[in-house]
């Protein structure tokens, strides 16, 4: 999914400069580089190349492209919001129910993150995109995961009953029969299908296997 921003109220002469700024921000985000790299490295290199190859007039023109830390940060937020709008619109237009893959894990900064990946049908093809990645600010209980997903759907005017299936790991907070996340979702969506992630089951199974058998099983999984 690629952002397709169409800035309004911008003069024709300013549009190329704005577009260039967004393109650089997109590449910085895509390569996971610090936002400061735009102003500290990319812009000086571009200006130097323009001066040598195209002349001073080109250098002056490119000098107007804003690549400061704050600008790049705001551009990336705009791109993210635009992509989310496209995904939400595609979900609403999907002719069949969508599928979610939900995982809660702790990142390198010891912060709990809830990640949701969505699958839906667009123009007779199955599309897969990251729906959101949100921090769980209080606890990581089933009700917190459930509320985060419910609030996201409500905020984006999506109906929970548009979900046909959910794939999760085997954590008790997720698969608990009474108060687990899937149990809470089934109260909202009675016919919801729940599956246990194949790779997660594989990881659990290999913990107790002898090293030689584990290696053989890993090779088989990779071939799948």
- The rounded distance, in Å, linking the Cα atoms of 165 and 126 is 14
Check: pTM over 0.85? Answer yes or no. no
Res 79: pLDDT: 93
Q: pLDDT tens digits, residue range 40-93?
A: 999 999 999 999 999 999 999 999 999 999 999 999 999 999 999 999 999 999
pLDDT band per the 50, 70, 90 thresholds, residue 109: low
Pairing verdict, β 125-135 and 193-196: unpaired
Residue 12, pLDDT above cutoff 60: no
Question: What is each CA distance from 123 to 73, 90, 126, in whole angstroms?
Answer: 33, 10, 8
pLDDT band per the 50, 70, 90 thresholds, residue 119: very high
Strands (E), 71-196: 98-106, 112-122, 125-135, 163-168, 193-196
Q: Where are the domains positioned within the chain?
A: 15-84, 95-223
On whether the CB atoms of residues 92 and 161 are closer than 8 A, the answer is: no
Lowest mean pLDDT among 25-39, 91-105, 172-186: 172-186
Tokens of 220: 């088989």
Tokens of 221: 């999984």
Residue 108, pLDDT above cutoff 70: no
Residue 213, pLDDT above cutoff 90: no
* Cα-to-chain-centroid distance, residue 76: 13
On whether the CB atoms of residues 98 and 162 are closer than 8 A, the answer is: yes
Lowest mean pLDDT among 74-78, 176-180, 189-193: 176-180
Res 103: pLDDT: 84
Superfamily (CATH) of domain 95-223: ATPase, nucleotide binding domain (3.30.420.40)
- The rounded distance, in Å, linking the Cα atoms of 113 and 134 is 6
């Amino acid at each position: 999914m690629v952002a397709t921003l169409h800035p309004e109220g911008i003069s024709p002469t300013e549009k190329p400069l704005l577009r260039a700024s967004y393109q650089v921000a997109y590449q910085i985000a895509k390569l996971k580089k610090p936002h400061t790299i735009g102003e500290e490295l990319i812009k000086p290199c571009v200006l130097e190349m323009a001066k040598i190859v195209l002349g001073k007039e080109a250098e002056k023109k490119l000098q107007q492209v804003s690549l400061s830390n704050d600008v790049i940060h705001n551009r990336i937020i705009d791109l993210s919001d635009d992509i989310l709008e496209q995904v939400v619109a595609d979900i609403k237009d999907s002719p069949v129910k969508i599928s979610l893959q939900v995982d809660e894990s702790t990142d390198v900064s010891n912060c709990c993150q809830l990640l949701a990946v969505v699958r839906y049908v667009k123009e007779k093809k199955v599309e897969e995109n990251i729906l959101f990645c949100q921090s769980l600010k209080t606890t990581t209980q089933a009700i917190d995961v459930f509320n985060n997903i419910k609030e996201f759907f409500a905020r984006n005017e999506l109906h929970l009953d548009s979900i046909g299936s959910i794939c999760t790991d085997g954590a008790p907070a997720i698969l608990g029969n009474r108060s687990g996340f899937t149990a809470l979702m089934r109260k909202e969506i009675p016919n919801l299908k729940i599956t246990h992630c194949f790779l997660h089951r594989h990881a659990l199974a290999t913990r107790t296997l002898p090293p030689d058998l584990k290696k053989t099983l890993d090779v088989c999984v990779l071939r799948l």
